Amino acid sequence: MNNKNKLLREYIKEAQLGKKAIGHFNISNIEGFWAVVLGAKNLNLPVIIGVSEGERDFIGVKEIAVIVKNYREYTGQAVFLNADHTYSFDRVKEVVDAGYDSVIFDGTELPLEENISITKKCVEYAKSVNPEILVEAEIGFIGKSSKLLDAVPDGVGRMTTPEEAKDFVISTGVDMLAPAVGNVHGMVKGGEPALNIPRIKEISEATNIPLVLHGASGNSADDIKGSINSGVAIVHINTELRVAYKNGLMISIQENPDEISPYKYLKGARIAMQKVVEEKLKLFNNL
């Protein structure tokens, strides 16, 4: 996996043709960065690093863009950066100008017409700055939290229809779409709802663009494989990484209570996250 000039859209197309998916993993710090890139490197697979508004504000909007771009250029590893869940045009503009590889405008809580209008504005601006940037949008509310949940959040449940997905894509010109198909952001303690695999296939056929599965933490392997076989090209994982980070860090500190060097006790957190990354990438790529 050593092609500095190969575009993200090309990797996505290859994944679709092979009934595989690219893993998208959210990070908040440099330990997360290394967990993702080293996990993908070990398996020789492309990968997407995701940063939500809160995550990129913490790590640095421009700083993480420079880190990913420079790493990709000097290693040749296929690592890309996505601005996850972005809620306004101004914040979309910010990451487009910073050189991100892709961006998601999330207008799921807006009236549909307003979601369409702002999404279209985001697409037009992004393509005017960088014709190769990928713009994703969402229709259908699946919650907003990457936390451990006691129950499915209020408002989650109604699934995206093929008809509204098709109309949305035609009206906005987005490159990718994240529909509501039974998925939930975060992890439900009692178990995740089942994904509606037939609905995913219907939306894929209606829109003819790559679909993105958000909120995949906690979903069964069979559901994830079924979604990939039905048109999902990118799968998002965040909550499982956060749980692994916290648990790995706690174990590391408990086993080394007198250690005060962050680079030593944080290593346990990084290794725990990397294990999750590799397990998920194997699942997404039938390895």
Q: Which residues are catalytic?
A: 84
The span from the CA of 162 to the CA of 160, in Å, is 7
Biggest CA-to-CA distance, the chain: 60
Question: How many C-beta atoms surround the C-beta of residue 145 within 10 A?
Answer: 14
Among 245, 211, 247, CA closest to 229 = 211
**Contact of 92 with 73, CB cutoff 8 Å:** no
Q: CB count, 10 Å around CB of 134? A: 24
Which residues 6+ apart lie within 8 Å of 5 measured at CB? none
Start-to-end C-alpha separation, the chain: 16
Report d(CA 100, CA 59) in Å as an integer: 14
